[in-house]
């Protein structure tokens, strides 16, 4: 059996599945039940400065995008940080950590961008016995209007500055949670590193309006006829998150900086993908909010089975394994030729591949009078669209054309050697191949 024990920044947890800072981790009642259900750790719902807590709207806080059969694909929220008194949260965190010493308990923090505010609250929270801090520079709604959350995360200089204050205030690990609402994720990641962060966690939610109420002519969720943008999360944001994680993992300046992967993790596979791209662990929220805490059981059993099948014995063996294979477009092998292949036994003759290819791509699929669909090798550019629109998994696949064989589309023999854009004759700035 694979060992799922996680050691992230020296913080140990029974598995790499942590609940992200969000409503599921807002209080002791939830967190105890989460640990009992099998979650390895939690990042407690973001704590704010002492004093009167923030208030939330009293209307809907969430909007959603559904797929077929009303599967929840994306969730949007306008909830703020914890609206319970700081002292109550600290007492509860202390009790929980005492009872669950082997589980990770991280404090998420968001206070105004002033040195004494941060330096006052960090040591106070540390007294709970928490294992580390996560600086919430990510939330894009509400708090950002007050100069916190993503308002900080969008300014690398602020990230560096606040991170440094926090590192000066504690010996515990400091994780910086990044907002994706920025053009280049490397800049905030680098700033966090420069400020001394032990890790970054990403992504926080994405600015979004999920839908518009066409009767009221207002965005949802709608509060008394008005709406505001919220933070988007759930399975729909996973591709965006994976890319940002991979960029940080492969960029020379930030390579090696530990990453806690967040964004649409719903199954063991999602988690494995984040870890393969460099995440040391993952944080989950929407899957738990959709299916309940029990959903972690599938993540644990699935990851364990997959690791056993692949011969991986520890999480460390998985983390970052795919990073060397993430590259720039310009380094992709232009001599690699594939063609679509349709398994006629599996084909149910729906014709979606034909419509997609004929109408929107390269007219590389033929259709006979009796609805047999075939790939025209002399037209197929191997775009993969037919594979993606086919409703039958595994029915259409891409076959690699062996070197020495003819690519009927180009009329040239497939070459064995690797050649990319940097040396291509059509590239005006090509460098001569050695």
Partner 1 sequence: MVHSNRENGVSSGRIAPADVQANFSDLHPAYDEHEALVAADRCYFCHDAPCMTACPTSIDIPLFIRQIATGTPEAAAKTILDQNILGGMCARVCPTETLCEEVCVREVAEGKPVEIGRLQRFATDTLMAKGVHPFVRAAETGKQIAVVGAGPSGLACAHRLAMLGHNVVVFEALSKGGGLNEFGIAAYKSTNDFAQKELDWLLSIGGIEIRYDQPLGKSVTLDGLQDDFDAVFLGMGLTAVNALRLDGEDKTNVTDAVDFIADLRQASDLTALPVGRRVVVIGGGMTAIDAGVQAKLLGAEDVTIVYRRGQEAMAASQFEQDLARQKGVTLICNATPVGIEGNGSLTAVTFAYTETRDGKLETLDETFTLPADQLFKAIGQKLGDTPDGLTLDGGKIAVNDAQKTNLANVWAGGDCASGGDDLTVTAVAEGRDAAMDIHATLTGAS
Q: Which residues bind partner 1 (CB under 8 A)?
A: 69, 267-269, 291-292, 294-295, 297-298, 301-302, 304-306, 392-394
Nearest distance in Å: CB 301, partner 1? 4
Give the residue with the Cβ less far from partner 1, 52 or 394. 394
- β-strand pairing of 17-19 with 211-213: unpaired
Q: Which residue's CB is nearer to partner 1, number 191 or number 295?
A: 295
For residue 233, indicate whether it is catalytic: no
Rounded distance between C-alpha atoms, residue 203 and residue 189, angstroms: 11
Which CB atom, from 243 or from 290, has the smaller least distance to partner 1? 290
**Nearer to partner 1 by C-beta: 44 or 268?**
268
C-alpha–C-alpha distance, residues 2 and 21, integer Å: 28
Whether the bond into 6 is cis, omega within 30 of 0? no
- Give least dist CB 348 to partner 1, A: 10
- Residue number, 285 or 295, with CB nearest to partner 1: 295
The CA–CA distances, whole Å, from 303 to 4, 71, 201, 272, 307 equal: 8, 23, 21, 7, 6
Q: For CA atoms 202, 206, 207, 213, give the dihedral sign.
A: negative
Report the C-alpha gap between 182 and 102 in whole angstroms.
Answer: 36
CA dist 395 and 8 (Å) reads 41
The active-site residue out of 113, 130, 139, 357 is: 139
Q: At closest approach, how far in Å is the CB of 290 from partner 1? A: 8
- CB of residue 307 to partner 1, shortest distance in Å: 11
Cβ-in-10-Å burial (0-12, 13-18, 19+) of 358 comes to: middle
Choose between 298 and 377: whose C-beta lies nearer to partner 1.
Answer: 298
Closer Cβ to partner 1, 297 or 333, answer by number: 297
Q: What does the CA dihedral 182, 185, 189, 192 come to, rounded to 10 degrees?
A: 0
State both tokens at 192.
Answer: 């966090």
Sign of CA pseudo-dihedral 226, 230, 235, 237: positive
CB atoms within 10 A of CB 341: 17
Which residue's CB is nearer to partner 1, number 158 or number 268? Answer: 268
SS (H, E, C) 32-46: HHHHHHCCCEEEEEE
Taking the C-alpha atoms of residue 367 and residue 374, their distance in angstroms, rounded to an integer, is 7
Q: Closest distance between partner 1 and the C-beta of residue 236, in Å?
A: 17
**Closest residue by Cα to residue 79 from 139, 149, 134:** 139
Shortest approach of partner 1 to residue 434 CB, angstroms?
Answer: 44
Q: Are 396 and 341 in contact (CB under 8 A)?
A: yes
C-alpha 259, offset from chain centre: 11
Shortest Å distance, C-beta 36 to partner 1: 15
For 261, the token pair is: 């992967």
Alpha carbon of residue 42 to chain centroid: 17
Q: Is the dihedral of CA 96, 98, 100, 103 positive or negative?
A: positive
Cα gap 373→31, rounded to integer Å: 54
| Min dist. Cβ of residue 304 to partner 1 (A) | 8
* Residues that are catalytic: 139
């Amino acid at each position: 059996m694979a060992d799922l024990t996680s050691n992230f920044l020296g913080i140990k947890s029974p598995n790499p599945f942590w609940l992200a800072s969000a409503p599921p981790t807002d209080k002791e009642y939830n967190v105890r039940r989460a640990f009992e259900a099998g979650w390895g750790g939690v990042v407690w719902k973001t704590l704010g400065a002492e004093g009167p807590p923030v208030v939330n709207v009293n209307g809907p806080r969430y909007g959603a995008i559904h797929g077929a059969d009303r599967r929840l694909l994306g969730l949007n929220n306008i909830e703020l940080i914890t609206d319970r008194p700081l002292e109550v949260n600290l007492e509860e965190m202390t009790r929980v950590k005492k009872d669950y010493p082997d589980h990770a308990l991280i404090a998420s923090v968001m206070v105004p961008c002033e040195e004494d505010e941060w330096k006052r609250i960090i040591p106070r929270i540390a007294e709970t016995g928490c294992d580390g801090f996560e600086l919430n520079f990510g939330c894009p709604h509400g708090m950002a209007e007050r100069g916190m959350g993503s308002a900080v995360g969008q300014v690398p200089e602020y990230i560096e500055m606040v991170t440094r204050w926090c590192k000066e205030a504690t010996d515990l690990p400091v994780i910086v949670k990044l907002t994706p609402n920025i053009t280049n994720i490397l800049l905030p990641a680098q700033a966090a590193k420069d400020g001394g962060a032990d890790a970054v966690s990403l992504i926080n939610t994405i600015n979004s309006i999920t839908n518009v109420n066409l009767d009221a002519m207002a965005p949802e969720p709608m509060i008394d006829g008005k709406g505001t943008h919220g933070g988007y999360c759930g399975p729909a944001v996973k591709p965006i998150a994976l890319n940002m994680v991979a960029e940080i993992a492969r960029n020379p300046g930030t390579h090696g900086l530990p990453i806690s992967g967040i964004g649409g993790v719903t199954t063991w596979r999602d988690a494995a993908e984040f870890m393969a791209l460099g995440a040391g662990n993952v944080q989950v929220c929407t899957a738990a909010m959709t299916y309940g805490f029990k959903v972690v059981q599938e993540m644990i059993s699935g990851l364990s089975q997959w690791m056993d099948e692949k011969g991986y014995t520890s999480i460390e063996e998985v983390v970052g394994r795919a990073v060397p294979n993430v590259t720039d477009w310009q380094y992709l092998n232009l001599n690699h030729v594939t063609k679509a292949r349709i398994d006629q036994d599996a084909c149910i003759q729906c014709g979606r591949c034909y419509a997609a290819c004929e109408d929107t791509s390269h007219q590389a699929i033929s259709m006979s009078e009796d609805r047999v669909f075939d790939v025209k090798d002399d037209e197929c550019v191997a775009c993969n669209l037919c594979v993606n629109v086919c409703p039958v998994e595994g029915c259409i696949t891409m076959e690699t054309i062996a070197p020495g064989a003819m690519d009927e589309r180009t009329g040239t023999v497939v070459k064995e050697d690797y050649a990319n854009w940097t040396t291509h004759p059509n590239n005006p700035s090509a460098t001569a191949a050695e």
